[in-house]
Structures are given as C-alpha cells and as structure tokens.
Structure 1
C-alpha cells in the first residue's frame, strides 16, 4: 500500500533557492496518457473511477482544478510540455513531427543544474530520442519516425493508422496486451532506478525521473483483475448525446476520420468501453501507489517533489465523440498536481494553467530561470504553488493533427473558452454557467443572433475581444502553408526511407548484463552498497544514513 502522505511535514515557508546539494529536492514526474480530468474523482465527486492512491496524493498536494494541454494530441502536447513552447512555434504539427534538437527542454535545464535526468516510458519523440535526458530507461511504445504524417492535401482520405471503431467494438477484459507489456517494463525500470539511486553512495546527484505510462490510452482493454473491480458498478452512460447531423463541423470530421460516422453503438458497447477505461485508470492508480511506496521504502519521499499530469484526455462517448483531438473538456483538460508539503501547503488552484507551464515552474523550483533571450510561452506556476497573487489564468492551445484541414486554436481565460479555425464556425462557451458546453455563445458575436440580455451582450463583447486577440496572435494562412510544407516534405522523406534497408530511429536502451548484479570487475565497495538496502554492518546495525547522508 502507498504511504499515508498526510503525515508528511508541511510548511508555509517559500522554497529556498536550490543551489546546494542538500537543498536540491529530487523530482519524480509521473504522466498518464489520455487521462481525462473531468472523469476523475479528484475533480468530479460523481466519478465512478476508483483511484485511492491518486486521491490520497491529491489531498496533500497543490491540485490544479483547471489544467489544460497545449494540444489535444500526444506528440504536440508532449513537445510543448517539455519545451514550454506552443506547437506552431516548434513545428510540432502532428504525431510524426520532430522538434529541433536545439530547442531547450526542462531536461536540459535540470541537467545544467546538476540533476541526473532520466525518462522511463512514452514521450513520442520523432528523430532525436533524448532531448536533454541523460538516460532513457526504455524504448518508446510508438514509432520515432515519419510514418504517421497527416495529409491535408487529401483531407477525405482515412490513413491506415488513424483511430477507428475497433477499440469500442472489441472493448473488454484481456489476458495480456501490448500496452501492459510496455507499462510493466516502465514500472520495473522506474522502481529499479529509484533503488539504484539510493545505493549509489553519498556523492550522487539529485535525480529528475520522468515516468510516462501509456495507460489508459485506448484500446479499451485491461486484465480481469482491473475489469472485475467494476463488477459492482453500473457504468454511467455519457451525459451528452448529440445527433451526428447536429454536430459542429470539426466534430463531424472527427467522426469520419475515426471511422465512426456510420456506426451507432449500443448502451452495452459504450459501457464496456468505459468500464475498460476505468479499469485502465485503476491500473495507473496502482502504478502511482507503487512509485510512492518505493519512494517511501527507499527513504526518498521527504526530499522528492512529485508532479503528476496527463498529456490530454478522452471523450469516452460524450457528445458521441471518442478519443481526443477536440477542445471539449474531456479531451483537452488534464489532471495536474504538485506534491511537496515541505514547501507547498496543499491547496486547490482554480485559475487556468497548462502543462506548458511546467518548464518555467521546474526552473523556479531548482533556482534558475528560462533563458531570457529565448522564447517562452509557459508561465511559472510558482505563485499558485505558494498561494500568492500573480499567477497566470490564460491558456492557449494549438492543433493541426488528424481531423483538421486548417489550424484550430483555443484560448481559455477566466470562465470563458474560445475556439477558432478558418474552416469551422467559431465557438464560445462560459464554463461556469455551461459546464457541458451545450450553448455556443459565438452566435451573439457573429451577427447570427442579436443580443438582448446583459449576459448576451457580455458574450458578444467577450467574443469580439477573443476574435481580435486571435487575429493578432495567429496568422492562419501562414501557419497553413508551413503545415502543408512540413507534411509534404515528411511524406517524401518517409517514402524514400521506407525503400530498401530500413534504419530505425527508435531508441534502443542499453541493458548491459555484464555490469549488473555481482561481477568480478565491479569494485567490492560498490557491490556492498548494492547488496542490501538499508545497509547493515556485521553487528546488525543499520548504517544506511552514513551511506546516504547527502540527500539528493
């Protein structure tokens, strides 16, 4: 069982400048794939998903109640998260885009400050597989090449790697899955990394370990152990059902691109898909519990900042939509929390933030700043962590992946969410009054309906301001040309590289058995440190504190 986090010491004091080894906390960043914040009990008291470990962690953390991803698709969201830059600025247009190796990431900043940076699990890098990480403990689950390039030149053509209905039609329990193979390797490598760290001796560097799980990403299947956890639960059906012909134009494209347009799912099929997703979330929750338990058993919990987030969400049948790729809440809103009671008193933050903000926040935590001469879209969340004024409340997001034909952008500020795309009707929602996003208030700003009430006039003003802001921020025609050029170049290169002998760009981690366990070439002192933790002398006294005196 994971430790009782509520027993850890708390302090209202601001964090010191992490400039000496004993002041540098370790950092464990846990990321779940396709985990929708509105589906979780920590955000939704009516949630049916069982996440005891995450709930305990959230209760002793700074929990962000309105956190968003910078793009509702795996790779662009992650590339923005690690760099603090919006997707269009770094050319992260879809799941087959590479970002330039000269783009600084949070791993570079951590490494420059003396941290050992390691990644276990998925990050969806294309080309360069490190981007500042000193060590990758596993390969990625997805390809690191140009095989998944979107094609706006043929927008009505479904590419073979697009999502389809099979995940819903085949939903249910399994004995094994590719994703379970992967996440179990991620968990083994991660926990082993933590144990190896504490046995390195007193001169070790602080670590910054990113653990990125691929669950609960579809396909919707999980082992019977987790499927059966919901045997007694009558799975809720989606709250919002919208007929296909009444969908907005982007949602219509998503239904077609995911091959869902001609299908009608039964209530039982929907419940099975959601039940498998719930089970997958519970699996992630157990993984979180295992990581926290390892920190506790290894004596690392008191000096490790734990950050948790998702990369994007999943619609799970809401509005008739599945997977992600839209700006509706279940697709674009993610869980996010920061746990370190020594510095940050547990609280809930209601302002809008983004995973884009993690890089400048991590920089603040380790006593540095993003380079002032380089661009930075993220905003430090340190004021929110400390409960002070001055934290941001605005989120921008950009999307040019499958299901689009032109750039699609979002601005979230205060209670308002604004969505714009040259190919679609604009959307404006007030999420305080309309949390299900059923009332598109953009009609009062486009001239379709003349506002009568004060609320309608307010909506018109808000819409007009967002329209002017979007026009000033984004050159949609120029972005479209850049996306098309990138797609065409990558398709040509991929077609060529697919011919003849194929050389993979995927990461192949080094696992040298000659340097593990007990070997004649490993110094005896090193073997002794690894033999047992905590270390015990010949009289049976525990002396691990001497070996682990420098907390890092």
Structure 2
C-alpha cells in the first residue's frame, strides 16, 4: 500500500438505485453534490451490494465477507459484533472510529467495534423482521399498503432522522478539526434516504411531481416477467395492489425527491469537511446498502437481482484516487473493506487473509479486470436462495429449484431479454455456472441458511406466532414508538 494514510469519511445511504443519480446517467434526478464528488474522484459503474436487503448487506459491509461466509442471512439475523469488523480492527489499533446514524445491527449495548455510536438505528426489539424467516407458503405482507399510502410531500420520521444525522455529522467534523490526532480517524455517516416511506420534503417532491415522469419499466401486467421467483416476491410483498396511476407518480416523485434530499444533506456534510479544513487530509467513500426496484416489473422495494436493486452507487475521492475516472470493472462492497484498511495506512497481511475483496485503490488502477463478484439473497419474500454473479458482460442468476436467468448487460442494460433458454448462449451459461460454483455451492448455502432460519423461527414461537406478530414495514427511528401491522 503506497497511499499516504488519511482520515476517511464513509457515507452510506439506504436503497439508492444507480438509476437515480445524475453521475450514473439519470437525466431526471438532480444530485449535484454527488455528481461533483464523482468528478473529483473515481466512480465504479458496475458496483454491487452483497445482498439486496438492509441487514445482510450492512453486516457484510462491516466484516468484508460474503453472506455465505459469515451468516447474517436475512432481516431477522442482524450483525451482533461476533465476527470482527473493520471497525473492531481499526479501533484496536487506536484509530477513532465513529458512526452516526443507521447501522441496522442487532441492538444497543453490543460491541460492534465503534469507538462511539451516535443516534444509532438498530433492528426492532433485537429481533427485526421475523416474518422473513418463513420461507415456504410465503405470508402476504399486511404492511404493503404503506408504500403507496405514504407517498407524497411532507416530512416523515425518516426525513427528520436524516436531518439530525446530518447536523450531528457537521458538528462532529467541525469539533474534530480542533483536536490533535495520532492516527487517522474514520467517520461512518449512515443516512436513511431514499428508503421508504416515500414522503419527501415538499421543495424536492414538487420539483419532480410537477413534471411528466415516465412509468416504471415493464410496469403493465402484460409486460411483467413471470419467473417464479418474481411471482413469489410480488405475491408476498403485494405493494402494487395499492397503486393506481397517480399513486405511481406520487411514489416516483417521492423517491426522486428523497434522492435530492439525500444529496442536499451530503452537500452539507462535504461543506463542513471543507470549511473545517479537513478536506485535504480526508478521503471519501459514498455508497448505498442496495438499490430499489421502484415499480419496475411491477415490484417495489428490493430483494431482486436486477440492476435496480442489486447494483449500488460507489464513488471514492481523495489523495491517491484518480479524478474524473469511471471504472467498469465489477466491484462489490467486499472491496470496501481492504480499501478502508489501505486508506488509513494499515497493511497487516493477517487482516486480509481469507477475505474476497480487492482494494478499490487497486481496482481504480486497473487490477482484477476479469473478476467475478457475487450477490446472494435468502430473505423475506423468497422461497428459495438466489445467487447472482457478474461475469464480464453477463449477469447470471441461479435460483435453487427454479430456472436460472442470463442477461447480456452490454447489449441489454435494462435486462429486458432473459437469454437462459436461448441455445446460442449455452456456453456462456455453463461458464457462468462454473464460476459461481467456484465461489460457493448454492445448494449447500441455501440449506445452511434455511436451517438457521428454522432455528430462529422455532425460538420465536414458530410460523403462526411470527405471522401474528405482524409486518415490520420499516424500522422505527431511535426513540419513536412503533406499531406492527
């Protein structure tokens, strides 16, 4: 590692699709601060989460390994600090490692590795979404109405929480600038926008609602793909049952408005970094835990392997990082782990052995151009495990017990044509299958995930008890009362 050690600011949003940033090609969504950040550094055009749902994605981001390597399978199996994280490693080496905002770990009081957790959001009651443990005869989500119901202008507990997180981040940076330091610090700022409820501050909401907005891709009933995995998800998370045309427009305007609200808050944080005199001594990472389908193919929320949900924005900036560069090599959140170690000057081999990631410093300089990255899903709304690899121009999705999918993202970036049954692509399909099995055995992983889920289900009273407990919908912010549906 030749880069000079620097402080590191990690900014994570929640559910931000790459389809909703100007620097990723959106001609509608305005994200000027993120666009400037991308222009000052390197943007990864093919970056992926490790699992398209909050809790597994965030656990994996913390520990730098894939889901099947560490467990934390679903939204009822949150990170508890048992597997050492980059937070633990750096704190043990006397770095100040502070989080502000959403963590979505198991509960307050556990040692997650941070020096300090400021206004952390953790899962409800230390249990989270127990209904996601039910993986057969999937229950219909009673709280699905909330997606359409809350879409519109205004403030929610989530927007108010983001305002508080942003204020605290600004204060922390300005106060930290006054203090002497022996080693670089890491500040992890985790905002919740644009995660639903799709209630956006009026100035942002009406900017989008007062213009013609396109309908979601493949939205009409006759256009929607009928793959059994997608049918499972749409039947369990029956969000679209509550949408008419105006609700669709309100939801899109709300989501886009929240993206601009997010960008506004990021702008405030970056301004504080500059005005406090810390910009030159600090590198920056921006990403999101996963994306959002936003009505495409009749689906809302996440939990699928399409680019809308599985791809994530990933931008790095600062000393030693090429400016105004776009890297097309496939990368993953597991690659952020070695990058963080590099950024603060840690080069201990024992902290990297057995980890699948390649430092983003190295990828930005051309390393590992032909690598594969993995996304997997074992959670709510799915009856079977889903595994995706990005192999060059191909995206291959393997479902245990269901037909596979294959997309050529070079010719078909919108994933409109599934090539898995096309005989011309038999060789590509076989190659992708081989490469997936080189990473993990999906059958073994699926069985292991379901065994853990059956164990947790029994501990919480079984199928009927967790269904009777109700639908979480979205996690309450700290200090706010919440009722399950």
TM score, norm. by length of structure 2: 0.89
For the residue of structure 2 that corresponds to 1:308, the secondary structure is strand
Q: Tell me if 1:146 matches 2:110.
A: no
Q: Residue 21 of structure 2 aligns with which residue? A: 40
1:265-280 counterparts in 2 under 5 A? 265-280=243-258
Structure-1 separation of matches of 2:28 and 2:3? 42
Alignment of 1:138-217 (within 5 A): 138-140=119-121, 142-143=123-124, 145-149=126-130, 150-152=132-134, 154-158=136-140, 164-174=144-154, 176-200=155-179, 202-203=180-181, 205-217=183-195
2:45 equivalent in structure 1: 65
Decide which of 450, 456, 469 is 1:484's aligned counterpart: 450
1:258 to 234, 237, 247: 237
Where do residues 356-395 of structure 1 align in structure 2 (5 Å cutoff)? 356-365=334-343, 366-369=345-348, 371=350, 374-385=353-364, 387-391=365-369, 393-395=371-373
- Distance across 2 between alignment mates of 1:301 and 1:50: 24
Q: CA deviation at 1:488?
A: 2.8
Asked if the contact 1:95–1:124 (Cα under 8 Å) also holds between the matched residues in 2, the reply is no
1:344 is displaced (CA, Å) by: 3.3
TM-score normalised by the chain length of structure 1: 0.78
Aligned-partner Cα distance in 2 for 1:144–1:391? 43
CA separation of 1:493/1:189 partners in 2, compared to 1, >3 Å: closer, same or farther?
A: farther
Correspondence for 2:398 among 411, 415, 420: 420
Aligned counterpart, 1:131 = 112
Q: Which residue of 2 aligns with 1:530?
A: none
Q: Which secondary structure does the structure 1 equivalent of 2:167 belong to? A: helix
Q: How many residues align?
A: 464
Other-structure match for 1:475: 441
Match of 1:10 in 2: none
Deviations 1:175-233 (A, max 9, x none): x3110221122112211111221122x34643200000011001111121221333542
Deviation at 1:286, TM superposition (A): 0.6
Matches within 5 A, 1:309-328: 309-328=287-306
Shift of 1:417: 0.2
**1:249, 1:343 → 2: CA distance?**
43
Q: 1:264 to 1:349 in 2, by over 3 A?
A: same
Deviation at 1:494, TM superposition (A): 3.8
Cα 1:66–1:369 change in 2 (3 A) is: farther
Say if 1:361 and 1:382, in contact at 8 Å, map to a contact too. Answer: yes
**Shift, 1:34, TM fit:** 0.3
CA distance in 2: counterparts of 1:493 and 1:256, whole angstroms: 26
Shift of residue 238 of structure 1? 1.7
Q: State the 1:169 CA deviation.
A: 3.9
C-alpha distance in 1 between matches for 2:135 and 2:311: 30
3-state secondary structure, aligned to 2:415: coil
1:470 shift after superposition? 3.2
Sort the Cα spacing of 1:215 and 1:164 in 2 relative to 1 into closer, same or farther, 3 A.
same
2:266 matched to 1:288?
yes
Give the 3-state SS of the residue equivalent to 2:427 in structure 1.
helix
Distance apart, 1:320 and its partner CA: 1.3
Compared with structure 1, are the counterparts of its residues 474 and 203 closer, same or farther at alpha carbon in structure 2 (3 Å cutoff)? Answer: closer
Asked if 1 retains the 8 angstrom alpha-carbon contact of 2:103 and 2:120, the reply is: no
Give the drift of 1:374.
Answer: 4.8
Q: Take 1:144 and 1:210, find their aligned partners in 2: how far apart are those partners?
A: 24
* Matched residue SS, 1:139: strand
Residue pair 2:80, 2:110 contacting (<8 A) in 1 also: no
Q: CA RMSD in A?
A: 2.6
Structure 1, unmatched stretches of 5+, are 1-14, 19-23, 445-450, 499-505, 510-552
After TM superposition, the structure 1 stretch with the greater mean CA deviation from structure 2, 432-441 or 136-145, is 136-145
1:360·1:369 contact (CA, 8 Å) conserved in 2? Answer: no
Q: What residue is the counterpart of 1:301 in the other structure? A: 279
Decide whether the 8 Å contact of 1:61 with 1:341 is kept in 2: no
